[in-house]
Amino acid sequence: MTQAAVQAQEGAFTAPQPLVVNRDGASPVIVVCEHASCFVPAELNSLGLDAETLKSHVAWDPGAMKVAEGISERLDAVLVASQISRLVYDCNRPPAAAGAVPERSEIFDIPGNRNLAPAQREARIALVYEPFRASLASVIAAAEGPAVIVTIHSFTPVYDGVARDVELGILHDSDARLADAMLMNTHWHTSLDVRRNEPYGPEDGVTHTLRENAVPAGLYNVMIEIRNDLIKTPREQDAMAATLSGWIISGLRELGVAIPGEEV
């Protein structure tokens, strides 16, 4: 179905297009931020949620976009980011997943996602997921050599009432090469509590972007989860971007991938 046809049907809304930053970046790294925004289009009536919930981690990954921008700048990498809340459509989930348009998130019911008509769900897929998927695919296709996919997320320090000790998660699906190379480095050089596939892992369905765009093509890839209380201020976000950029560079160096401008 064309975008125009979807706009005309039941459940349609005006969706901002995915953001592509530094499209001509020289790095093989492509930074992806699926949960960059908490924006909900006016037509969706806040999905029945109050303003506080709509600004919380339920709706997006606070701080993640700022860290992603910092990494993009440091590595001269392209950044692809969704500009719409994951509660409208979670761009890190395939259309068949129930969680793609969640009826519930952590302890919150999402009234505006309950009992959607098939046409309403189709509109979410066509207006949010498909443009995001197309943007990312076009950026990967435009890369000169094999791209490296790095997705940036943040997670809440307290989930379902339980405090989380883990500060940074280095996540992977079936291809652990870049995650392994980064973990080898972080094991020795940081005071942060860094763990593999925590607080989520592939069994939770969180590696969709990697599985869709990197694993089948054999591209190096990693997903990074940052505890959001560590990236509240611009200063913290910038410091985190600097740290992670260093880990990405040294991980890629282990794998023999050169980053333009970096001594290898």
Per CB under 5 A, residues contacting Zn ion are 35, 61, 153
Considering beta carbons, is residue 16 or 205 the nearer one to Zn ion? 205
Contact status, residue 43 vs residue 12, Cβ threshold 8 Å: yes
Q: How many C-beta atoms lie closer than 10 Å to residue 39's C-beta?
A: 15
Residue type, 94: P
Name the minimum Å distance from CB 226 to Zn ion: 10
Token readout for 170 is 């280095």
Name the minimum Å distance from CB 155 to Zn ion: 7
Considering beta carbons, is residue 24 or 203 the nearer one to Zn ion? 203
Considering beta carbons, is residue 57 or 74 the nearer one to Zn ion? 57
Considering beta carbons, is residue 67 or 257 the nearer one to Zn ion? 67
Name the minimum Å distance from CB 258 to Zn ion: 29
Considering beta carbons, is residue 123 or 206 the nearer one to Zn ion? 206
Whose tokens are 């200063």? That residue is 235
Considering beta carbons, is residue 153 or 195 the nearer one to Zn ion? 153
Distances (CA, A) of 1 to 5, 8, 13, 14, 30: 6, 11, 15, 16, 29
Pairing of strands 168-171, 108-109: unpaired
Q: What is the DSSP letter of 16?
A: P
Report how far Cα 91 is from the mean position of its chain's Cα atoms.
8
Name the minimum Å distance from CB 178 to Zn ion: 18
Name the minimum Å distance from CB 62 to Zn ion: 10
Contact status, residue 169 vs residue 197, Cβ threshold 8 Å: yes
Contact status, residue 168 vs residue 224, Cβ threshold 8 Å: yes
Nearest-CB residue for Zn ion: 153
Name the minimum Å distance from CB 210 to Zn ion: 13
